């Protein structure tokens, strides 16, 4: 899609019959839009809208006569409409088969049946739908309870994206160079797509790195274009592409350049779990931690996971159950110090098991 628009810029200014026809590039652009929308309907739709605006701008700025422009518009619109209609027909067919309505996406049907939490920051949480299974209710109510203030959620979303699309320092340097010197190289619109894509995916309350995938090619073009623009600038009296290349390659190295502060995600139960592990690993004894969950627990706060070698693990985590087999389980691990952790109480208290009898004076 990005390359089709890049090639379309000079093609839109040539007379009909010369060079690559704009209608062929418009069809290629339309195919890219269809692929993006089918893969990620929301993010792909945002990208298709942004690129359609750029396509209209390129055709409108063509220096051709009014009649030649009219023929170009008709040819480009017709060639772009064919892949778009085929993609739309495919999407409507899939929607009909999966949700019973050609106009309702599978994402929307899932939200209607299960989701309580809002999808975007500007929405409100939904009323809880009727659930047929209490375990499913617990999952979606747990997701709602794990909500964060908007600014904290955006910061957490940024942390999940860090270094998923290459070195963060490398990308920042490339984007800064593109913003400073890339206007002449046609990078202004590419930068607009990069940052509009970030705004689109970060408007989602729960976002994952692959949500930004439709915009990743534009990020790569902007960073590479920024590096190229920086290499063509005069540094100390003349262009020094070797020096600029060395700087950008160096930014890919983990220890090069100014350090970027990496704050851990502020998830209280993970911080508490790390604190417990750090403290108990200093003890020469081996430990068994029984984690007691209460009804209505947050299913997204899971404490119990272990190293692959259970027998030789310094710390072993297990779920506490009121069961006749509990003494047998504890007997198998009698060489360990046993603890009880209350996963759903404030502060996540940890004490020796069995707990002391506090009723005695």
- Domain for residue 333, yes or no? yes
- pLDDT bin (cut points 50, 70, 90) of residue 97 is very high
Q: Which of 12-26, 55-69, 72-86 has the lowest mean pLDDT?
A: 12-26
The domain total for the chain is: 3
Strand partners of residue 319: 291
Report the alpha-carbon distance of residue 128 to residue 116 in Å, rounded.
5
Question: pLDDT at position 224, please?
Answer: 86
Where does a domain end: 97, 113, 129?
113
Does residue 272 lie in a domain region? yes
Position 314 scores a pLDDT of 94
- Mean pLDDT along residues 235-260: 66
Pick from 198, 226, 251: which residue ends a domain? 251
E strands within the chain? 234-235, 238-239, 287-292, 315-319, 337-342, 350-352
Strand 234-235, strand 337-342: pairing: unpaired
Q: What's the domain range around 178? A: 153-251
pLDDT value at residue 361: 47
Provide the whole-model pTM.
Answer: 0.67
- Whether residues 15 and 108 fall in one domain: yes
Strands 238-239 and 234-235: antiparallel
Q: Are residues 279 and 225 in the same domain?
A: no
- 228 is a domain residue: yes
Q: Is 167 exposed, middle or buried (0-12, 13-18, 19+ CB in 10 A)?
A: buried
Q: Is 312 a residue whose pLDDT tops 50? A: yes
Give yes or no: residues 10 and 96 share one domain: yes
Look at the block and give the residue holding tokens 């004490």. Answer: 351
One domain, residues 247 and 272: no
Please give the pLDDT value at position 257.
Answer: 46
Same domain, 305 and 206: no
pLDDT for residue 150? 67
Q: Across residues 304-323, what is the average pLDDT?
A: 90
Q: What is the DSSP string of 224-266?
A: HHHHHHHHHSEETTEE-HHHHHHHHHHHTSTTSSSPPP-PPP-
Look at residue 255 and tell me whether its pLDDT is greater than 70.
no
């Amino acid at each position: 899609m990005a390359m089709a628009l890049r090639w379309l810029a000079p093609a839109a200014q040539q007379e009909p019959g010369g060079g690559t026809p704009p209608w062929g590039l418009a069809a290629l652009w339309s195919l890219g839009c269809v692929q993006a929308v089918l893969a990620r309907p929301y993010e792909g739709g945002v990208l298709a809208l942004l690129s359609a605006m750029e396509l209209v701008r390129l055709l409108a700025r063509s220096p051709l006569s009014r009649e030649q422009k009219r023929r170009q518009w008709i040819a480009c619109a017709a060639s772009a409409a064919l892949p778009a209609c085929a993609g739309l027909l495919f999407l409507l067919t899939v929607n009909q088969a999966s949700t019973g309505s050609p106009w309702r996406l599978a994402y929307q049907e899932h939200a209607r049946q299960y989701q309580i939490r809002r999808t975007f920051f500007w929405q409100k949480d939904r009323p809880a739908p009727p659930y047929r299974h209490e375990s499913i209710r617990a999952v979606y109510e747990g997701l709602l309870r794990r909500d964060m203030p908007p600014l904290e959620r955006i910061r957490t979303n940024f942390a999940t994206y860090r270094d998923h699309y290459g070195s963060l320092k490398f990308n920042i340097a490339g984007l800064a160079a593109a913003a400073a010197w890339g206007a002449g190289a046609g990078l202004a619109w590419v930068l607009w797509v990069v940052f509009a894509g970030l705004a689109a995916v970060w408007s989602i309350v729960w976002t994952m790195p692959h949500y930004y995938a439709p915009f990743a090619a534009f990020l790569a073009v902007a960073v590479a274009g920024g590096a190229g623009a920086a290499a063509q600038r005069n540094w100390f009296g003349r262009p020094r592409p070797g020096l600029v290349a060395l700087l950008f390659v160096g930014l890919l190295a983990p220890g090069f350049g100014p350090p970027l502060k990496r704050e851990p995600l502020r998830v209280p139960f993970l911080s508490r779990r790390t604190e417990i592990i750090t403290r108990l690993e200093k003890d020469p004894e081996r430990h068994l931690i029984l984690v007691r969950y209460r009804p209505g627990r947050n299913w997204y706060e899971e404490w119990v996971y272990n190293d692959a070698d259970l027998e030789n693990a310094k710390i072993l985590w297990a779920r506490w159950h009121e069961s006749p087999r509990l003494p047998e389980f504890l007997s198998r691990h009698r060489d360990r110090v046993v603890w009880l952790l209350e996963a759903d109480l404030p502060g996540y208290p940890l004490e020796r098991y069995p707990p002391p009898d506090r009723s005695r004076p």
